[in-house]
Amino acid sequence: MKKILSSILFVISIFYANAQNFSAETIPQVLKNRATAVIRQSETTVDMRSTDNVILTVKKAITILNKNGDDHASLVLFYDKNTSIKGVKGEIYDEFGKLTSKFSLSNFKDESAVSNFSLYEDSRVKYYSPAVNIYPYTIVYTYEIRNKQNLVIPEWRPIPGYDIAAEKCTYQFVCNPKDELRIYAANYNRTPEEVLTDKQKILKWSVENVPAIKQEDYSPNAAVFLTSIKVAPKDFVYYNLKGSYTNWNELGKITYDNLLKNRQDLPAPTKDFIKELVSKEKTNRDKAQKIYKYMQQKTRYISVQLGIGGLQPSFASEVDKLGYGDCKGLVNYMQSLLDAVNIESYYCVVEAGNNKKDLISSFASMEQGNHIILCLPLKGDTTWLECTNQEIPFGYLGSFTSNRLVLACTKDGGKLLKTPKYNAENSLQERKASLVLSKEGNLKGNVTTTFKGEQYENHTYLLNKSQNDRENALRKIYDVNNINFDEIAFKKDEDQIIFTEDLKINVGHYAPVNNGKLFLNPNLLNVKKSIPFIRNRVLPLYISSGYTDVDHISYTLDQDIVPEFQPKSVHIKNEFGSYILEVKKEDNKLVYYRVLSVKEGMYKAEDYTKFQEFISEVVQNDNLKLILSLKE
């Protein structure tokens, strides 16, 4: 123990000895480039003294170069009855490295992590943001947190994201030499330093002089290219639970047997009600759909991060009584309702977000995953449910959780399953419009748009808006001068998962008139926006979701308008997708047809130039201007 203490004190003394000069001028210029903040020194130590006593110590000095880096100066610490903050102290230095103020835990604001919800009254947060508006400045702090469990060891990411550089960051994991660990190192190509004695094992990772990475359009999840270290002990304690695991099957079994079991009891009247509710339904799918609708109407979602409220869902009976819950609680509740009529379902852990991220198939850890969804392994028709959204259709996930590996926790153990993929062909936005163009350049008519696949959710949020808010939102979406909406109607087909928008519009002076000519852009509502040219791109090109847009617009022309233009046809096809543009004359009508299809995928950084050229060509054709003559 003396060796451990002397080792830690030695490291602390080195940290502070090297941390005396916080002048921003001493930061190498190469680290200031593209950075909003620079980590001067950072040391993270996880001391797993025992399975139920894990001490996390963080010491960090970070210089904030401008206002855009202020978020990196904030300190947010969650705690509950099993996680305690043992101490915090810090200092603020000005541009020249002069100490201007100090702070401690007493300067932090403290409040409930989930206000006004009794299920999570033990989850609290302390946070501190320095009130500094003269840049650059440096914040230096140290804090220690004690965890009474080692099932969840926080991932170490020395660079937390874009626009931040680092001079030196280290991570130490201290444990008993006999402790079995599994380690997953991403974007770290060196062997960690190891110190082994009779009493302890210390593993150390470090990175130095890491320049900031500028976020680029169409970039992948930062985890793809940033360094991170995950550590998962074989033997663990999670409060009153003890066990061991080395793979997803074992971890899923532990979750099912210890975190989910015995938390699904429902009051007898609720069970009876559910049985009666579905008594006339013939198939399990129909029964599940009816129960899902009931659950959506009865409950509401409260946002609690997966690790904040603990890993165990609240009792189904509590959610049934109170009518609210986080993702864990609502999934467990829905699973309990299904179980009341003997419909099997799987509680599934997923890494949710619009940038799709799989669980690591070769490395099981409870630290992965930030959301829970439900899987129904119906015979020949596996169905997935998002239980936190009161408006989402039965069987639809959307971009937040689609197309990624998730952990299904079952009585037979954990299974890695893939959520549904909505490819470019079935993520469809299809618009049909019938418009009349007057000789003054005014437009009026009807526009019907259907949304399917991942595009289903494009406009569904408008359902709960007032008429005035709908009009304002649509003006922003379609961005057409002088557009007015005479009628707005929405319709959801939850069986086919199709959202339909019906509009009756009028647009004053859409086609300018000059010297007996009208200048018409036939692409009224779907002009593609250009993407920036990026010289010397660093990051891979990542298109997270594929989609297809189809626009078919018929313009009936005033009898005094003469369509003298030549028909136009454009066909483009490449590795990123395809584009079709056709403009034709049919008697007194002008018919415009456009199809843009973009494929999802990860591409090399150098491919961005070709993708940008493709989009530029689309933009150019989308801004086509037709010249129409007026009869004298």
Query: pLDDT tens, 469-488?
Result: 999 999 999 999 999 999 99
Q: pLDDT category, 132, cuts 50, 70, 90?
A: very high
Closest C-alpha to 627, from 517, 553, 527: 517
Query: Rounded mean pLDDT of 256-273?
Result: 95
Say what the pLDDT of residue 431 is: 98
Query: Rounded mean pLDDT of 354-363?
Result: 93
Amino acid identity at 98: K
Place of tokens 């090297």: 18
Q: Judge whether residue 5 has pLDDT over 90.
A: no
Higher pLDDT, 198 or 345: 345
Query: pLDDT tens, 204-226?
Result: 999 999 999 998 999 998 888 99
Say what the pLDDT of residue 11 is: 44
Q: Indicate yes or no: pTM above 0.75.
A: yes
User: Distance between CA atoms of 610 and 606, rounded to whole angstroms?
Assistant: 8
Say what the pLDDT of residue 117 is: 56
Whether a cis peptide bond, with omega within 30° of 0, leads into 160 is no
Residues 551, 552, 556, CA angle at the centre, nearest 5°?
Answer: 135
Closest C-alpha to 564, from 583, 544, 550: 583
User: Distance between CA atoms of 509 and 260, rounded to whole angstroms?
Assistant: 62
Could you give the C-alpha distances from 178 to 146, 174, 196, 242, in angstroms and in order?
22, 12, 11, 17
Q: Judge whether residue 6 has pLDDT over 50.
A: no
Tokens of 322: 């109170």
* Helical spans, DSSP H, in 512-581: none
Residues in a beta bridge with 407: 349, 416
Place of tokens 């502070």: 16
Query: Rounded mean pLDDT of 8-31?
Result: 68
Average pLDDT, the chain: 92
Could you give the C-alpha distances from 293 to 276, 299, 334, 401, in angstroms and in order?
15, 10, 10, 20
Q: Judge whether residue 354 has pLDDT over 90.
A: no
Residues in a beta bridge with 591: 554, 584
Question: Is residue 174 a contact partner of residue 45, using CB atoms and an 8 Å limit?
Answer: yes
Question: Is residue 443 a contact partner of residue 515, using CB atoms and an 8 Å limit?
Answer: no
Q: Judge whether residue 99 has pLDDT over 50.
A: yes
Amino acid identity at 46: V
Say what the pLDDT of residue 351 is: 95
* Burial letters 454-493, b for 16+ CB under 10 A, else e: bbbbbbbebeeeeeeebeeebeeebebeebebeebeeebe
Which of the listed ranges 124-128, 215-219, 351-355, 524-528 does the model predict with the highest average pLDDT?
Answer: 524-528
Query: Rounded mean pLDDT of 430-445?
Result: 97
User: Distance between CA atoms of 135 and 237, rounded to whole angstroms?
Assistant: 45
Half-sphere exposure in the Cβ direction for 305 (13 Å, CA): 10
User: Distance between CA atoms of 96 and 566, rounded to whole angstroms?
Assistant: 68
Could you give the C-alpha distances from 229 to 58, 205, 222, 421, in angstroms and in order?
15, 9, 14, 29
Q: pLDDT category, 564, cuts 50, 70, 90?
A: confident
Query: pLDDT tens, 365-375?
Result: 999 999 999 99
User: Distance between CA atoms of 231 and 156, rounded to whole angstroms?
Assistant: 9
User: Distance between CA atoms of 107 and 585, rounded to whole angstroms?
Assistant: 72
Handedness of CA 510, 512, 516, 520 (dihedral sign): negative
Say what the pLDDT of residue 355 is: 84
Q: Judge whether residue 460 has pLDDT over 90.
A: yes
Say what the pLDDT of residue 119 is: 58
Question: Is residue 179 a contact partner of residue 168, using CB atoms and an 8 Å limit?
Answer: no
Residues 262, 267, 269, CA angle at the centre, nearest 5°?
Answer: 150
Residue 441's contacts (CB-CB under 8 Å, 6 or more residues apart) are 509, 510, 511, 512, 513, 518, 520
Q: How many residues does the chain have?
A: 632
Q: pLDDT category, 14, cuts 50, 70, 90?
A: very low
Query: Rounded mean pLDDT of 116-126?
Result: 68
Q: pLDDT category, 120, cuts 50, 70, 90?
A: low
| Dihedral (Cα; 28, 34, 38, 39), 10-degree rounding | -110
Residue 21: how many other CB atoms lie within 10 Å:
11
Q: What percent of the chain has pLDDT over 90?
A: 85
Closest C-alpha to 552, from 447, 427, 444, 438: 447
Could you give the C-alpha distances from 583 to 7, 337, 567, in angstroms and in order?
76, 54, 5
Amino acid identity at 407: L
Phi first, then psi: what are they for 258, rounded to 5°? -115, -25
Tokens of 81: 């009855």
Closest C-alpha to 378, from 283, 268, 488: 283
User: Distance between CA atoms of 558 and 367, rounded to whole angstroms?
Assistant: 65
Q: pLDDT category, 309, cuts 50, 70, 90?
A: low
Q: Judge whether residue 304 has pLDDT over 90.
A: no
Say what the pLDDT of residue 179 is: 96
Question: Is residue 214 a contact partner of residue 162, using CB atoms and an 8 Å limit?
Answer: yes
User: Distance between CA atoms of 570 and 568, rounded to whole angstroms?
Assistant: 7
Residues 226, 230, 233, CA angle at the centre, nearest 5°?
Answer: 175
Q: What percent of the chain has pLDDT over 70?
A: 94
Distance of CA 13 to the CA centre of its chain: 40
Say what the pLDDT of residue 316 is: 97
Whether a cis peptide bond, with omega within 30° of 0, leads into 154 is no
Closest C-alpha to 326, from 340, 310, 346: 310
DSSP 175-216: E-TT--EEEEEES--SPPEEEE-SS-EEEEEEEEEE------
Higher pLDDT, 99 or 535: 99
Query: Rounded mean pLDDT of 125-151?
Result: 95
Closest C-alpha to 313, from 367, 288, 268, 349: 349
Residues 319, 323, 326, CA angle at the centre, nearest 5°?
Answer: 60
Question: Is residue 375 a contact partner of residue 420, using CB atoms and an 8 Å limit?
Answer: no
Say what the pLDDT of residue 16 is: 45
User: Distance between CA atoms of 181 and 294, rounded to whole angstroms?
Assistant: 45
Amino acid identity at 91: E
Question: Is residue 503 a contact partner of residue 444, using CB atoms and an 8 Å limit?
Answer: no
Question: Is residue 494 a contact partner of residue 394, using CB atoms and an 8 Å limit?
Answer: yes
User: Distance between CA atoms of 170 and 193, rounded to whole angstroms?
Assistant: 11
User: Distance between CA atoms of 418 and 486, rounded to whole angstroms?
Assistant: 44
Higher pLDDT, 452 or 303: 452
Question: Is residue 167 a contact partner of residue 22, using CB atoms and an 8 Å limit?
Answer: no
